[in-house]
Structure 1
Amino acid sequence: MVTIAFYNLENLFDTIDDPTTLDDDFTPKGVKRWTNNRYKKKLFKLSSTMSQIGTHNSEDPPVLVGIAEVENETVVIDLLNTANTENINYAYVHYDSPDERGIDTGLIYHKDHFTVIHSEPIHVHIINTNGEKDYTRDILYVHGKLNGEEVHVFVNHWPSKRDGKISTDYKRIEAAKVLVNFIEKLEEKHPNPNYIIMGDFNDGPKSDSIKVLMDTNKFYNPSDHLLTFEKGSASYKRKWSLFDQIIISHSFLNYEKGTHSFVEANIFDEHFLTEFDGKFKGTPFRTYVGRKYVGGYSDHFPVFLQFKYNE
């Protein structure tokens, strides 16, 4: 089995103040009191989680892991250099985004199974209702070979609902349109491409923004059935959401030799990642609740899917 995962790492910042971004809270003197000790504990927990995704029916750790909310290249390197992942033949793709808080996306890949052909950031140009530019995350594009089969991977972290769902819907719809336009141009050079579109879309599978992707009739969303009243990838006010999704092209629903076939999709919501008791029992055990440090993993569960390689 080949495991593909996505994980929002919940504010993986280093402890150094970057004067060009709004990272002051995540410094030793900031309101979060973000110390080197806390940083190292988070790295250890995140890397431990990442290495276990999909191992219920696979001997190997994930081959691809899309990540969101990483501050810079340094934190990605630190993540891969922890005891849990340093012996896995991982490498990464990362670009700095124009996001005001300085958080980016990235792709971690297993060099024994994946090779990069080309990568680039896709800028999402959004103008707010007041006419000002919205500095949001780029979409990361990576063209590569997965066990010899060419794939086109997109790692997304679309604009949040922080200012309200209705008032921000247009931002995520615009991000979806940017992605669709890029894919249309891609297909001028790459006939019948294999797509893996992953990310924190800040919208569920039934949302208007995801519908922009699905209306192209190019994709299958195996995440569609994962959200229930009792299960999701994140929880807000005790209501589950599934903003974290992995969408694939129909080409992964075949069984031809030398290709990958979709097997299953799921949420990696193991007990150790959850709140053990209290009114939020079962929800993601996060690093902070407001300004209070609680020492958890992330406010999101990872999501993953698995392919079978057809020999």
Structure 2
Amino acid sequence: MPTTYYLAWWNLENLFDEENSPRRTEKLARALGDDLAGWTPQLRDRKVSQLASVIAQMNGGAGPDLLGVCEVENRFVLELLAAAVADRLGGRRYEIVHADTGDARGIDVAFLYDPALLTAPAGQVFFHVVMRRNATREIVQVNFQTRTGRTWAVFGNHWPSRSGGQYESAGYRAIAGETLAYFHQRVREEHGQDTAALAMGDFNDEPFDTSLVAHALSTRQAVRVINADTPRFWNLMWPAAGTPEGTFYFQNEPNLLDQFLVNANMARPTSPLHANPDSVRILRFPELVHTGDYPRPRPFGGMGASVDETGYSDHFPIAMTVTETD
């Protein structure tokens, strides 16, 4: 019987531990300064509850099988989130892969996954440094094993931001794109040319930007990926790029920063592990969306911004399905 996996990605917008957390290093505490002033355990737990209420709605109320997240401070807040989601789903359990990166703000990339469907073997989790003068998030690679024992390389991405200017900072995202493309190639060399690979994340660029097209080697055409001699990605978010919707709004302008990319071994409908492109969605549950002229996400706030305890994140989540045949 085929197995369908429900995947999601969400930038959780500064899911930080409490203001005076004993789990925070002195170095990070100095870097954050007063940004977390007033961020009480109660506010942290309220944000966790808000996020969990959305995650539990995914997949028709069954929750995602694999969830990639970014802007989380540490494993502790991830454990709180996983437990809160499990409570809403009647005890469904999630395991965690977390990269404790050297990012200047202490925000990390992680995966939550259902161990009944996927395993993350010891020695098959990698944290790839994106070289930059200032520390930034690493690309997290997990070579998951599926229920049939297939290797499925999944990359979690949170590329350098556009702070300082979109074009002034573009070189940093080009480096991230090159890093992703290099390790995609290494997957094929180490695990075989038929290995399925998927990249998900907040790329801080849109599908048509140079970092994704020229450096990560992604394209809007499945056939170019399937026929290419070099490892390429099919960017599944291109259809959404032609709509008024986005996953993040800057000055009320929609940006499609959160994306799914799949390689040739997931682009072919006949592949044992293949993506379902028609399933790709920006998840805009009614409570996530601001009312008014600009249907942007509803942030929870914090980190110096005003807090809305009825908010969630400044990004919408995205989701898709992948089917594995016997």
- Does the alignment reach a TM-score above 0.5? yes
Do residues 14 (structure 1) and 17 (structure 2) align? yes
Contact kept? 1:44, 1:84, Cα under 8 Å: no
Structure-2 residue corresponding to 1:141: 141
Structure-1 residue corresponding to 2:39: 34
2 CA distance for matches of 1:168 and 1:12? 24
Q: 1:10 to 1:25 in 2, by over 3 A?
A: farther
Q: 1:219 to 1:146 in 2, by over 3 A?
A: same
2 CA distance for matches of 1:80 and 1:204? 29
SS at match of 1:116: coil
1 CA distance for matches of 2:130 and 2:253? 29
Paired residue type of 1:253: A
2 CA distance for matches of 1:174 and 1:258? 32
Contact kept? 2:247, 2:317, Cα under 8 Å: yes
Q: Return the offset for 1:236.
A: 1.1
Contact kept? 1:121, 1:140, Cα under 8 Å: yes
Q: 1:108-146: CA deviations, max 9, x gaps? A: 1111110112102111112xxxxxx22000111100113
2 CA distance for matches of 1:228 and 1:269? 17
2 CA distance for matches of 1:135 and 1:113? 34
Structure-1 residue corresponding to 2:248: 234
Structure-2 residue corresponding to 1:284: 297
- 1:81-230 correspondence to structure 2 within 5 Å: 81-82=83-84, 83-84=87-88, 87-117=91-121, 118-126=124-132, 133-148=133-148, 149-192=150-193, 193-211=195-213, 212-214=215-217, 216=230, 218-228=232-242, 230=244
Higher strand share: 1
1 CA distance for matches of 2:308 and 2:245? 22
SS at match of 2:56: helix
Contact kept? 1:48, 1:85, Cα under 8 Å: no
Structure-2 residue corresponding to 1:267: 282
Contact kept? 1:220, 1:250, Cα under 8 Å: yes
Which of 47, 57, 65 is the matching residue for 1:52?
A: 57
Contact kept? 1:25, 1:34, Cα under 8 Å: no
SS at match of 1:196: strand
1 CA distance for matches of 2:285 and 2:184? 35
Provide structure 2 residue ranges, at least 5 long, that are not aligned to the other structure: 219-229
Q: 1:49 to 1:26 in 2, by over 3 A?
A: farther
Q: Return the offset for 1:23.
A: 3.2
Structure-2 residue corresponding to 1:303: 318
Q: 1:167 to 1:41 in 2, by over 3 A?
A: same
2 CA distance for matches of 1:258 and 1:222? 18
CA RMSD of superposed structures (Å):
2.0
Structure-2 residue corresponding to 1:71: 73
Q: 1:232-285: CA deviations, max 9, x gaps? A: 11111111001100111121233448534424211111111111x3454x2101
SS at match of 1:202: coil
1 CA distance for matches of 2:185 and 2:46? 43
Which of 23, 28, 32 is the matching residue for 1:23?
A: 32
Q: 1:34 to 1:137 in 2, by over 3 A?
A: same
Paired residue type of 2:318: V
2 CA distance for matches of 1:36 and 1:78? 12
83-92 or 231-240, which deviates more = 83-92
Contact kept? 1:227, 1:240, Cα under 8 Å: no
Q: 1:86 to 1:214 in 2, by over 3 A?
A: farther
111-120 or 97-106, which deviates more = 111-120
Provide structure 1 residue ranges, at least 5 long, that are not aligned to the other structure: 127-132
Equivalent pairs, count? 296
2 CA distance for matches of 1:200 and 1:261? 19
Structure-2 residue corresponding to 1:130: none
Paired residue type of 2:176: A
2 CA distance for matches of 1:96 and 1:269? 30
Q: 1:152-194: CA deviations, max 9, x gaps? A: 0100100000110111000000011112222223322211211
Paired residue type of 2:254: W
218-227 or 233-242, which deviates more = 218-227
243-252 or 168-177, which deviates more = 243-252
Paired residue type of 1:143: N
1 CA distance for matches of 2:296 and 2:249? 6
Higher helix share: 2
2 CA distance for matches of 1:303 and 1:25? 32
